[in-house]
Structure 1
Amino acid sequence: MVNISSASGTMYIDRTFYDRNKKLIDDWVKFYQTPQNHDWYGISYIEIEKLTEDELWLRFYGDGRWSWENTLERVFASGDFESQFNLYKTELTKRLYEDKQSILMEYKDYEPGCEILVEREATLNVEKYKGKYYTEVIVDTDIDIKYNDYNRVATGVEEGYRLDNEKECKSLLEYLKDFYYKNKDMVSENDYRAFKKDVLTYIKDVNELKGGICLFRLEDPGMFLDDLENSLKIV
């Protein structure tokens, strides 16, 4: 079974190219704003973020086949490379190729099964081989973000709390107090202050967390308390 990554970011299209192809690009964007219209492995949603003097900024979300990097060659493609029929995509791909127009893409990609968390900046060029269009991807900036809960929360791919963020830490303490009294029968500590101290130590010291904790860990009390207890055992 193929793992699916979640990508999000911004595409930058030259303003002159956009002005010449405004209706086509607008239709291409609107196509992805209809829920049932999205690529199976590819773009799932696009919206216009900003129109500047030089560029059109497009905010996008996508689903990667294992990773977004593995899927980019299909973003602008034709024939065997295309995951579903999209008339606007086909015509836009052709015009990008004819005008030798590059698109700059900045994105984050997240796939928890393979522990992928990256930020990349890439240049997309449409190329043609044996009559078929495909996307050539030139990676300009490649940052592999250390995979832990702190960074997952910091990059926004998961909801959660970071100890060095005052607002989030305050919210975490409120959550822990509520958690303690709701699950008191399961908690090994005799009072809330001892429980809070152990949890904060756990979040701070465990490499998998590194000063942050994803909300989903706290939403399963039994599993969270088992992980907490195991982390505090002296080996």
Structure 2
Amino acid sequence: MANMSTATGRMYLERDFYEKHKELVDKWIKFYQESNHIGEWYGLTYLATEDKTKDELIIEFEGMGRWSWENTLEWIFASKDFESQFNPYKAKLAEKLYEESQEVFMEYVDYEPGCEFLVEKEVTLKVEKYDNKYETSMAIETDIEIGYNDYNKIMNEVEEGYRLDNKEEVKALQVVLKDFYKENEEMITEKNYREFKKDVLVYIKQDRELNGGICLFRLEDPGMFLEDMEDSLKIA
């Protein structure tokens, strides 16, 4: 089985197209709100209307990628589908997009911890037809590789955690560290909480993998966290 990536972002449809096919588009969106796709297979897992401007319908989305979201986009408006729950409105929507030569603009952040990548992309999707079957073609407009570190994971909301350049998050981190110290004091090299907190903050600031932020999952394994910190700071 391929690694799964998680993608979040927005899709943009022309407002005129939406108004012309409002019932169809609304049903297509609503399907992903009523059906639980998460954790089952690749493809869209959630859609919701975020805004309607004079020119566009803005749709927020979540999805699961097969290795990456880019590799999954060809199925978004295709006749075939590897989503576990086939959207009954997608085929008709693909037909209308094709007949009216409508393009769908999409911007998203894609995160895959297994292969350690975090990217931001903008793509334009277009429905093509071959042998009476619909396929989704894609043109990449923007492709930005985001530095793979804890700060950027938190900043892009793909992981929960704390950033040192945010005062409120630092306060919250200190509360967590106090509890961590009390629960794991026997394992900790530093003789008191103040020394421990100082070392943790230096570790978060200086370590390349953290880069000024720390994801919550690192604190869930105390032994591994302390070992990584000691290796990074060379604490004897």
Q: Which amino acid aligns with 2:186?
A: D
For structure 2, the residue ranges without an aligned partner over 5 or more in a row are none
1:5 aligns with: 5
CA contact (8 A) 2:4 2:67 kept: yes
For the residues of structure 1 that align with 2:178 and 2:230, how far apart are their CA atoms?
18
Q: 2:46 aligns to what?
A: 45
Look up the match of 1:18. Answer: 18
Contact kept? 2:129, 2:135, Cα under 8 Å: yes
Structure 1 unaligned residues grouped into runs of 5+: none
Alignment of 1:184 onto 2:185: yes
Runs ≥4 residues deviating over 3 A: 36-39, 81-85
Q: 1:130: how far off? A: 2.3
Q: What is the distance in 2 between the residues matched to 1:86 and 1:199?
A: 48
Q: Which residue of 2 aligns with 1:27?
A: 27
Alpha-carbon distance between aligned partners in 2 of 1:188 and 1:196, rounded to the nearest angstrom: 12
Normalising by structure 1, what TM-score?
0.95
What is the CA deviation profile of residues 18-71 of structure 1, one whole-angstrom value per residue up to 9, with x for unaligned ones? 011011011111111113367831101101111111111111100000000000
In the alignment, residue 41 of structure 1 is paired with which amino acid? Y
Q: Which residue of 2 aligns with 1:109?
A: 110
Deviates more, 1:128-137 or 1:144-153: 128-137
Give the percent of matched residue pairs that are identical in Structure 1 and Structure 2.
Answer: 59
- 1:219 pairs with 2:220: yes
Contact 2:163–2:169 (CA under 8 A) maintained in structure 1? yes
- 1:113 partner SS: coil
The count of corresponding residues between Structure 1 and Structure 2 is 234
Instruction: Say if 1:31 and 1:37, in contact at 8 Å, map to a contact too.
Output: no
8 Å CA contact 1:110–1:116 kept in 2: the answer is yes
Instruction: Point out the more displaced range, 32-41 or 199-208.
Output: 32-41
TM-superposition CA deviations, 1:162-197 (whole Å, max 9, x none): 111111111111211221122111111101111111
CA deviation after TM superposition for structure 1 residue 82, in Å? 5.3
Query: Alpha carbon RMSD of aligned pairs, Å?
Result: 1.7
Equivalents in 1 of 2:165, 2:128: separation in Å? Answer: 46
1:49–1:59: 8 Å Cα contact kept in structure 2?
yes
